[in-house]
Amino acid sequence: MTTETAQRRASTAPLISARGVTVKFDVARTGKQMIALSNIDLDVMEGECVTVLGPSGCGKTTFMNVVAGLVKPTSGSVFIDGDEVSGPGPDRAVVFQDYALLPWRTVFDNVRFGLEMQKKLSDGDWRDRVQNAIDMVGLSGFESSYPRELSGGMQQRVGLARAFVAEPRILLMDEPLGAVDALTREVMRDEIGKLIAQTGKTVLFITHSIEEAILLGDRIVVFKSKPGEIKEIITTGIEGMGSERNAQNDERFHELREHLWSVLANEAAAASK
Ligand SMILES: Nc1ncnc2c1ncn2[C@@H]1O[C@H](COP(=O)(O)OP(=O)(O)O)[C@@H](O)[C@H]1O
Ligand SMILES: [Mg+2]
C-alpha cells in the first residue's frame, strides 16, 4: 500500500457519498412522473465492497447509473472523494449485465476500448496493460477471438478486463453475472471476489442473488420494492471473500441468508398489494 493510499484509508471520509439522491422519470404512457429513487443516502469507504440487493424494478440500476454519471438525479448528489459527480470519469468503470461488447472487435480490441474511453492510449505501456487485464481474467489465448465466438461467461470476462484495464478506483457492477449460466456464475463469483480482494478496489455490486450479496459484500444494501428507498443496510461480518462451499458451515452466512429471504419475501408481498 502506498503512503498516499494508507493516508486515504486512514481518513474517515467516504470515497462514494450519495446524499438525498432522488430520480423521477417521466412516463409517457400516463403523462405522470414515477419515482425510481427517493432520497437515497449512502456512504462507501475506500476499499469497501458494497452489494446492492433488491427486487426487479426497485431502482438498483438507476442508482448505479447516477454514481456512474450516466443519469443525472432530479435532486440530491453523489460525491466521489468530495467532488460532485457531473458525468462519467476515469475514476469509475462499469460492468454491465449484458456485457455491452463491440461485436466487430476482437477480445484484445474490446479490452483496449477501456483505455480508449479514458484517453489512456497514449501511455507507452498500453499494450502490456491490455494483455495484463486479459491474463487477469483468464482469457489468455483468446485475444484474437470475437465476442460471438465466446460463451456468456467468457464475454463477461472481457467486460471485466475492459473495466479493470484503466485501473479505476471504483468498479460499478450491475448484475454482472445475471446472464451467465448457474455453474459458471458460481465460479466467476468467486473469481470476482478474489480480484476485488487482490486489487483493493472500491466496489458497488448490484445483484438479485442473496448468496452473491452475502459472499461478496462487506455490507449489503437492501432496497425496498417501491418506491426506490433503502430498506436496511447490513454489515456481513464474514471475513474474506470465500466461496459458498466454504461458507456452508458458517453460521453467520445461514443467518444472513434466512434474514434476507424473509426481508425480500415481505417486500415482494408488499409490492403485490
Ligand atoms: N429511462 C427511464 N425512463 C423511464 N422509467 C425508467 C427509466 N429507467 C428506469 N425506469 C423505471 O425506474 C424503475 C427502476 O428501474 P431500475 O433502476 O432499472 O430497477 P432495477 O435495476 O432495480 O431492476 C423501474 O420502474 C423502471 O421501469
Ligand atoms: Mg437493473
**Which of 35, 40, 62 to probe ligand 1 with, by most ligand atoms within 8 A of CB?**
62
Going from the Cα of 174 to the center of ligand 2, the distance in angstroms, rounded, reads 7
Going from the Cα of 53 to the center of ligand 2, the distance in angstroms, rounded, reads 10
Closest ligand 1 atom number to CA of residue 64: 17
Q: Which residue puts its alpha carbon closest to atom 1 of ligand 1?
A: 25
DSSP letter at 54 equals: -
pLDDT of residue 238: 80
Grid cell digits, residue 1 = 500500500
Tens digit of pLDDT at every position of the chain (273 positions): 445 555 555 557 899 999 999 999 999 888 899 999 999 999 999 999 999 999 888 999 999 999 999 999 999 999 999 999 999 999 999 999 999 999 999 999 999 999 998 777 777 789 999 999 999 999 999 999 999 999 999 999 999 999 999 899 999 999 999 989 988 999 999 999 999 988 999 999 999 899 999 999 999 999 998 778 999 999 998 876 566 666 767 889 999 999 999 999 988 888 777
CB-based pocket (< 6 A), ligand 1: 25, 36, 54, 56-62
Rounded to whole angstroms, the Cα distance separating 237 from 50 reads 12
Of 63, 54, 64, nearest in space to 224 by CA: 54
DSSP helix/strand/coil, 254: helix
pLDDT of residue 250: 83
DSSP helix/strand/coil, 102: coil
Closest ligand 1 atom number to CA of residue 71: 1
Q: Which residue puts its alpha carbon closest to atom 26 of ligand 1?
A: 57
Going from the Cα of 105 to the center of ligand 2, the distance in angstroms, rounded, reads 26
Contact 214, 256 (CB under 8 A): yes
Contact 16, 42 (CB under 8 A): yes
Going from the Cα of 262 to the center of ligand 2, the distance in angstroms, rounded, reads 21
Bridge partners of 33?
26
pLDDT (tens digit, 9 = 90+) per residue, 212-228?
Answer: 999 999 999 999 987 78
Closest ligand 1 atom number to CA of residue 26: 4
Which CA distances in Å does 267 have to 21, 230, 231? 21, 12, 9
Going from the Cα of 60 to the center of ligand 2, the distance in angstroms, rounded, reads 5
Residue whose entry in the numeric block shows the C-alpha cell 480490441: 109
The total number of residues shown for the chain amounts to 273
pLDDT of residue 241: 56
Burial class (CB in 10 A: 0-12, 13-18, 19+), 251: exposed
Complete DSSP assignment for 149-205? GS-HHHHHHHHHHHHHHT--SEEEEESTTTTS-HHHHHHHHHHHHHHHHHHT-EEEE
DSSP helix/strand/coil, 221: strand
Going from the Cα of 59 to the center of ligand 2, the distance in angstroms, rounded, reads 7
Rounded to whole angstroms, the Cα distance separating 17 from 105 reads 36
Q: Taking the CB of residue 126, how many other CB atoms lie within 10 A of it?
A: 15
Closest ligand to Cα 29: 1
Going from the Cα of 172 to the center of ligand 1, the distance in angstroms, rounded, reads 17
Structure pTM?
Answer: 0.91
Q: Which residue puts its alpha carbon closest to atom 8 of ligand 1?
A: 62
Residue whose entry in the numeric block shows the C-alpha cell 481474467: 137
State in Å, rounded, how far the first CA of the chain is from the last one: 51
Q: Which residue puts its alpha carbon closest to atom 25 of ligand 1?
A: 57
Contact 87, 106 (CB under 8 A): no
Q: Taking the CB of residue 259, how many other CB atoms lie within 10 A of it?
A: 16
Q: Where are the beta strands (DSSP E) in the chain?
A: 16-27, 32-44, 49-53, 75-80, 83-84, 92-95, 170-174, 202-207, 219-223, 230-235
